[in-house]
Amino acid sequence: MQEFLIPAKPDLQAARETWLKTLAHERRLSPETVEAYERDTR
């Protein structure tokens, strides 16, 4: 089975990046947790 990745709109990509930074800096989640969320939201 092949996976297809469809690029998100730029505003959604920016919101995702902001969310990941918030998780890392304000919520102080471990880098491994933030990386897992990043993978899950690709």
In this structure, is residue 2 part of a structural domain?
A: no
Q: Tell me which residues of the chain have a pLDDT lower than 70.
A: none
In this structure, is residue 34 part of a structural domain?
A: yes
Q: CA nearest 30: which of 42, 40, 15, 20? A: 20
> Any idea which residue has 């800096």 for tokens?
25
d(CA 11, CA 26): 21
Question: Are 12 and 42 spatial neighbours (Cβ–Cβ below 8 Å)?
Answer: no
In this structure, is residue 4 part of a structural domain?
A: no
d(CA 37, CA 20): 8
Structural domain count of the chain: 1
In this structure, is residue 15 part of a structural domain?
A: yes
Question: Where in the sequence is the domain holding 26, given as residue range(s)?
Answer: 10-40
Give the pLDDT of residue 6: 85
Question: Are 31 and 24 spatial neighbours (Cβ–Cβ below 8 Å)?
Answer: yes
In this structure, is residue 19 part of a structural domain?
A: yes
Give the pLDDT of residue 2: 81
Looking at the chain, the whole-number percentage of residues with pLDDT higher than 90 is 79
Model-wide pTM > 0.85: no
